[in-house]
Amino acid sequence: MATTTGWNTIESDAGLFTELVEQLGVKGVVFEELLSLDPDSLRALAPLYGIIFLFKWTEAAVKSTADGRPLDGEYDPEAEQTLFFAHQKIQNACATQAILSVLLNRKEIKLGSSLTEFEAFVADFDADLRGETLSNSDLIRLVHNSFSRPVPFVDETHAPRSAANSADDIYHYIAYIPIAGKLYELDGLQPFPIRLDDSTTDENFPEKVVEALYRRIGRYPEGEVRFNLMAVAKDPRDLLLAVGDQEGYMREQEKRENWKRENVLRKENFVGLIAEILKGVLGSSVENQESFEKLIVGAKDRSAKRRQSEQRRKLMSQF
């Protein structure tokens, strides 16, 4: 099981995010992975609450201009008074923090009692104290960690990843939301919310956010494909029932059942079973337990990289 002493890494997965927010008490929200970046694909998901963007962190992609402005848009310090914006304090918490940046800023979302209480508690805090409060929330951390994969072999000599260590691949989540006629980028590593546009509505949000995302992706070298996009939208099942679309409703139900099965498997540790099978197959070819463990870890890493590469290839093939 996931440790409860810190924040663990979780995958960028639509089914995982959907069940995560449900366990936090949120009703009527679904996450959908975007395999094409065009306004029509986003409009098909309406009502659309926001976008979660996962990217590889590089200094060049997040640095400010020489006069201290963001590379795109403008810092909006006054927005902290009306938006939920928190500074990121824990590296592994950025996925859940980006999700909350959408949920707590869209008032039509039914948050449930726990997040409603959290929202009220931090309402008068500044971004720094909100980040500290979020990082120390036992409820949010425990739900987040419940979706992390078990780690069978722990190398306690491995230093934590940091931006200063260029050998590490560091990934980061940010949120894009349309609020009060403006398009905002909410990034917990930035000092303030970034206002990207002053004429954004729910209706033209797909066009405006696609333009912003293309500008953002354009900061990376040609050929970089390590991006993931997730739409945060209204669960369509109630509407499908209301219009009598039983076939569409059943498709959505089946999708959620598949997500639940995947999330159960995601939390399990099958290393012991795999080890026994491989021992029988390999026999004496594995000379000792240490080399055998290295074989398992190497195989898991290669499989994860293949899955990630395929997901990014599908997304970037649309650009």
Catalytic residue among 87, 94, 144, 158: 94
Grouping H, G, I as helix, E, B as strand and the rest as coil, residue 163 is coil
* Continuous H helices in the chain: 14-23, 39-43, 59-62, 94-103, 113-122, 127-135, 138-145, 205-217, 237-242, 246-267, 271-282, 289-316
Q: Which residues pair with 179 in a beta bridge?
A: 182
* Residue 94 appears among annotated catalytic residues: yes
Grouping H, G, I as helix, E, B as strand and the rest as coil, residue 52 is strand
Let me know: does 138 contact 95? Beta carbons within 8 Å. Answer: no
The edge-to-edge listing of strands for the beta sheet with 182-186 is 29-33, 227-234, 48-56, 171-179, 182-186, 194-197, 74-75
Helices 289-316, 271-282: axis angle to 10 degrees equals 110
Catalytic residue among 87, 144, 158, 172: 172
Let me know: does 236 contact 253? Beta carbons within 8 Å. Answer: no
Let me know: does 257 contact 232? Beta carbons within 8 Å. Answer: no
Give the Cβ contact number of residue 35 at 10 Å: 13
* Residue 144 appears among annotated catalytic residues: no
Closest CA to 213 of 196, 236, 188, 235: 196
Which residue numbers are catalytic? 94, 172
